Amino acid sequence: MTHATQAGGDIDLEPLRKVLNEQFKPQDFQDAQELILGACQEAQHIYGYVPKEAAQAIADHLETSINRVYALLTFYADFRTEKPGKHVMLLCHGAACYVRGSARLIDDLKERYGIDESNWSSVTTRDGELSVQVINGCLGVCDLAPVIQVDHHDYYGHLDVERFNDVLSALKRGAAVEDQNGAD
């Protein structure tokens, strides 16, 4: 997906303003929260996250406060307020993945990238390559445990630390990873 930024990385607000003007008229919504959430979802769809400039544009358009917009952005885990890395990874730490060694993958990530565990809800590595979220629920593919999801659609399963590092290295090189699920 192409996201709307201008040269130099500045946020191009025109696509968002167009959507806000066309689809987010306060009189069409009974509920102000629904209105703000819908606008934030559109912003995240356009930019891949909700940058502060977009949050301010939403607040201005809906004549509400930036604090109210941020209260909703931070309440719902689906929203990102930081620019995601080139790749987005969900690392499952649900029961089946935990039993099969997801903690070792987390330790490996911490060591590899110097990540502080307190930030697991959304961490982007310093090189901007990877955003990681550790999921304590379940990714719904327990037969692949322990498993990660990359860029919303690719699953890599039956991971040990060695294969996990192979996947990370391949992502960094932009190479395809064969044998996604570790079949012998």
Tell which one of 147, 150, 168, 171 touches ligand FES (CB under 6 A).
Answer: 147
Closest CA to 60 of 20, 88, 22, 92: 20
Judged by CB under 6 A, the chain residues 79 through 138 that form the site for ligand FES are 92, 94-97, 138
**What is the residue type of 121?**
S
If the CB atoms of residues 66 and 96 are measured against ligand FES, the closer one turns out to be 96
If the CB atoms of residues 48 and 94 are measured against ligand FES, the closer one turns out to be 94
First-to-last C-alpha distance (Å) of the chain = 34
For residue 116, the minimal CB distance to ligand FES (Å) is 23
CB neighbour list of residue 150: distance below 8 Å, 6 or more residues apart = 87, 88, 89, 156, 167, 171
If the CB atoms of residues 92 and 130 are measured against ligand FES, the closer one turns out to be 92
If the CB atoms of residues 57 and 105 are measured against ligand FES, the closer one turns out to be 105
CB neighbour list of residue 181: distance below 8 Å, 6 or more residues apart = 144, 155, 156, 157, 158
Name the residues that contact ligand FES, by CB under 6 A: 92, 94-97, 138-139, 141-142, 145, 147
